[in-house]
């Protein structure tokens, strides 16, 4: 398995992106970090470089809904660092309301950020990897992608299913080639995005969740459920149980 020295992470100013950046920095990896909040990135860059003076941390502001900016930022990181070995498509939002309740704007914003912007990130990443003839694309989906879910997470679950299918199609295309594609399905990990979720079974703290995320990503699997217990067996159950049972679970 190749050593992935230089890692780009979107949505790196908070939550899973920031947590993964800290874990990879501790492993001695060079980082390309982007998010909307440049001040947060600057603080994180200073923290990581002080704790790990032998690594390089490059930062750039990025709103993933500005699709041209996605391509510009990815290409600029490639030019600055020479090569991008792994790109983690992590940026996303958790807005959403039940369909038909007058909140189309929130659902549309979730769909655009979590799917269309993820498509732009995958396009920009694959452009670089095809040119290099190497790389590892990591798409962060969700356990909610395994079934269509209801109410506030209806649109969210649909977008996460969409990016999982996008990644699987890419993985099929890249079989036998030096470009790897992984889909990661996190369960409940405590972040701002789910701070208001009342029903969050088996939730783990951010540090534990990010440690297990990085451990899974390092193995470069086709797909991984994180934390594996209990989400791997629960994921299987969610795909085969009738909707009436899944409704009670969620």
Collect all residues with Cβ–Cβ distance below 8 Å to 161 and sequence separation of at least 6.
141, 145, 146, 148
User: Phi first, then psi: what are they for 155, rounded to 5°?
Assistant: -65, -40
Instruction: Determine contact, residues 137/127, Cβ cutoff 8 Å.
Output: no
Give the whole-angstrom CA distance, residue 160 versus residue 140.
8
CA–CA gap between residue 225 and residue 186 (Å, rounded): 6
Q: Which residues, at least 6 apart from 180, have a Cβ–Cβ distance to it below 8 Å?
A: 135, 136, 137, 174, 220
Distance in angstroms (rounded) separating the CA atoms of residues 141 and 20? 15
What is the end-to-end Cα distance of the chain in Å, rounded?
Answer: 37
Return the number of other C-beta atoms located less than 10 Å from residue 58's C-beta. Answer: 17
Contacts of 50 (CB under 8 A, 6+ apart): none
Both tokens of 39, joined, read 């001040």
Q: Which one from 156, 185, 188, 225 is the annotated catalytic residue?
A: 156
Element (H, E) at 229: helix 228-240
From the CB of residue 193, how many other CB atoms can be counted at a distance below 10 Å?
17
Query: Contact at 8 Å (CB) between 187 and 160?
Result: no
Is residue 156 flagged as an active site residue? yes
Residues with catalytic roles: 156
């Amino acid at each position: 398995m190749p050593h992935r020295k230089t890692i780009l992470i979107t949505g790196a100013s908070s939550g899973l992106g920031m947590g993964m950046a800290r874990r990879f920095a501790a492993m001695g990896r060079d980082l390309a970090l982007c998010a909307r909040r440049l001040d947060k990135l600057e603080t994180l860059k200073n923290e990581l470089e002080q704790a790990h003076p032998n690594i390089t941390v490059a930062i750039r502001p990025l709103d993933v809904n500005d699709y041209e900016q996605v391509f510009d930022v990815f290409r600029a990181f490639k030019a600055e660092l020479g090569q991008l070995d792994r790109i983690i498509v992590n940026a996303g939002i958790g807005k959403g309301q039940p369909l038909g309740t007058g909140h189309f704007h929130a659902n549309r914003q979730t769909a655009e950020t979590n799917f269309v912007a993820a498509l732009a990130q995958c396009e920009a990443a694959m452009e670089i990897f095809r040119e290099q003839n190497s790389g590892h694309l990591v798409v962060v989906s969700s356990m909610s992608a395994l079934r269509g879910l209801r109410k506030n997470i209806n649109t969210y679950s649909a977008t996460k299913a969409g990016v999982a299918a996008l990644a699987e199609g890419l993985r099929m295309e890249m079989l036998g080639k030096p470009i790897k594609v992984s889909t990661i399905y996190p369960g409940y990990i405590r972040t701002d995005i789910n701070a208001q979720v009342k029903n969050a079974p088996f939730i783990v703290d951010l540090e534990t969740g990010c440690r297990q995320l990085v451990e899974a990503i390092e193995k470069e699997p086709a797909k991984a459920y994180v934390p594996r217990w209990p989400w791997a067996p629960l994921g299987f159950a969610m795909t085969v149980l009738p909707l009436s049972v899944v409704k009670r679970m969620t």
